[in-house]
Structure 1
Amino acid sequence: MPSSLNPLEQIARRWQPSARFVERAALVAVVMTVVIVVTGGAVRLTQSGLGCPTWPTCTEDSLTPTREMGINGAIEFGNRMLTYVLCAVVGVLIIAARARTPMRRSLTRLGWAQFWIVMGNAVVGGITVLTGLNPYIVSSHFLLATALLVVTVVTWQRAREGDAEPRDLVARPIRQLTWLLVGATGVLILIGTVVSGAGPHAGDARKVHRIPLDWQEITQLHVDFVYIVLGLSAALWFTLRAVKAPAALRRPVIEFLVVLLLQGVIGYVQYFTHLPEVVVGVHMFGSCLVLIAVQRVLLSQRERAELPAPVAAPAPAQPVAEAAGSSR
């Protein structure tokens, strides 16, 4: 009976989204995740981290910021509201992936993974406010957003390919070198998070506890890892060229190198100009692009074909005697 179906099944019976629609929904989730990261950085850089001093409401007596809270309250509350927009985008993705025939469980699972990361990060964001911008919680907040970006990019890729088992397009040593590049990039982003937690942009004009490390020394370690990642990406490109890999495999490595070099230039500019807020914000946006670019390098090295359509079983042969009797 239709009444016994859950809401997603009922939607699936009435709506058949195209593969293109699902792919675009996945891409919008990637874009919205980047927006959340950048606007979250704007909250910290404009000293609006405690613009709404409590959570889940903005004040003890008001769900929204009051006039007295000024621009800082509006900025912090606006970032909270963007979480609902992101939830709506993820919800559309889940519904579209579930409604499409044949249903792709890989996409619905990735969509639900996005949903739960968003929910978990919303709670961590609330704890960030309630603990007065504890730098370790703030760093966890950013790292969860980074994890969400990883999942959204994977989902976007999966929406553009089939469900067959993945087939590697490169030899195992090249795949291992690529994973080493991905791991080093992850450490690079992690160290950058520590730099933010120890640096001068605490997120509020009042005195806020910082990670008790010399942020300039951590910055030097961050720079060292930039050179390590540059070396690994150059080595990967030369290796792919040496084995005459197709341009489709070499192009993402070039794109990653370009993004990484631009990010390095921005990093040097922000350091020698004493960390102006706008440049730091651009650097945070660049970190998202670096993460997306390195994932594209990894995901370009394998392919998934469409699963073959199931073949209907032939109807059982009718016995001759029965067929003769039925013809009378």
Structure 2
Amino acid sequence: MGPVPNVTRADVAQAARNPLAFIAERWTPTQRTVQRAAFISLAMTVVIVVTGGAVRLTGSGLGCPTWPKCTEDSLTATSEMGFHGVVEFGNRMLTYVLCAAVGWAIIAARSQKPMRRSLTRLGWAQFWLVMGNAVLGGIVVLVGLNPYTVAAHFLLSSALIAVAAVMWQRSREGDAEPRPLVGKAVAQLVWFLVAASGLLIAVGTVVTGAGPHAGDSSDVPRMNLDPVGLDWEGVTKLHAVLAWIVVTLAFALWFVLKAVDAPRGPLARTRDLFLILLAQGAIGYVQYFTDLPEILVGLHMFGSCLVWIAVLRVLLSLRERPHPATELPAQADDSQLSAV
């Protein structure tokens, strides 16, 4: 049996007062550990978005009809609630898994030496976005799956994905001043691409909110587009036009990067984005012409997450932040060596 650690009363008080600092004093994660923690946090964010879509597509949106409890008398789903209760309650439980992943990312970032405050702040930003989205998810249930609150729930998840993607990228680079790898005109083109992609996702939530998959039953109201003179077909076509704009911008960016002989990083990220966009577009057209089967709608939601991550990776690839050079011990000159 190994020796018992000598834990003093001061250690207990410090751990209670500031547990993150207590852990950081006693553990230094490797760079790879921090990167993995950031990636797991990003992956779990995508998982909970996709499973949230599965809740809606299986009609389980009100499987737990109240919040924060599943029923007025039970915190968990009961056997009487059946399949829909299990699906909805399971998605709620995944929020705790996501919180654990984000917490692990915060601890790893805080414990890195030297401490990187910018990375830790990104972790805390994820935490508060998760908390805000959990509350908004409860509001979605309490208002009977109002499509506007459902759209806001997805958009806040997109913001969470953005922060998680930035943290993952920042965990793989240093804290030096960013050095641009492309010219200002190319960077402006990428910002147009980011803005168009954000608008594409926002309009996609309107397509969902006006479409047939209400999340529970046909009694759930859908978005009323009459005041702006749009029906579901019209807003779907607008979504398709925006998708083609994003594809065109991605192709134009790749062409410009080739023309200016840009580094491999931006070129590779733009190529990846273009391929993801083509796959996402194919799924979108197939689901439109096949009356929106649930499995394809779910794949399209997953694809929208990948598109958003790929767009952000293109943006972040336009600059580099090298790690600080490790100082090597000064080598002795020949006279010193001969004197030894």
Per the TM superposition, whether the score is higher than 0.5 is yes
Does the alignment pair 1:62 with 2:74?
yes
Cα offset, 1:205, TM superposition: 1.9
- 1:169 matched to 2:169? The reply is no
Report the counterpart of residue 275 of structure 1 in structure 2. Answer: 292
TM-score (norm 1): 0.92
| Structure 2 counterpart of 1:236 | 253
- TM-score w.r.t. the length of structure 2 is 0.89
Q: Which residue of 78, 100, 123 corresponds with 1:88?
A: 100
Q: CA deviation at 1:248?
A: 2.2
**Counterpart Cα distance in 2 of 1:110 and 1:127:** 26
Which structure 2 residues correspond to residues 193-272 of structure 1 after superposition, within 5 A? 193-213=205-225, 214-272=231-289
Q: Which residue of 2 aligns with 1:119?
A: 131
Task: State the 1:251 CA deviation.
Answer: 1.2
Determine the C-alpha separation between the residues in 2 that align with 1:268 and 1:70. Answer: 34
- State the 1:165 CA deviation: 1.3
1:1-328 map, 5 Å: 2=11, 3-4=13-14, 6-213=18-225, 214-307=231-324
AA aligned opposite 2:75 = L
Q: How far 1:306 sits from its partner (Å)?
A: 2.4
Note the residue ranges of structure 2 that are not aligned, 5 or more in a row: 1-9, 226-230, 328-340
Aligned-partner residue type, residue 174 of structure 2: G
The CA deviation at 1:100 is 1.6
C-alpha deviation, 1:212, in angstroms = 0.6
Q: Any unmatched runs of 5+ in structure 1? A: 311-328
Letter in 2 for 1:195: V
Q: Deviations over 1:165-196 (max 9, x none)?
A: 11110000000001101110111111101100
Tell me, in whole angstroms, the C-alpha distance in 1 between the residues paired with 2:292 and 2:152: 22
Paired with 2:208 and 2:123, the residues of 1 have a C-alpha distance of: 30
Which AA in structure 2 matches 1:10?
F
Q: Runs ≥4 in structure 1, deviation > 6 angstroms? A: none
**How many Å separate the matches in 1 of 2:108 and 2:254?**
37
CA–CA separation in structure 2 for the residues paired with 1:308 and 1:273: 56
- Paired with 1:226 and 1:95, the residues of 2 have a C-alpha distance of 38
The alpha carbon displacement at 1:247 in A equals 2.4
CA RMSD of aligned residues (A): 1.4
Q: How far has the Cα of 1:206 moved from its partner?
A: 4.8
Q: Is the 8 A contact 2:181 2:263 kept in 1?
A: no
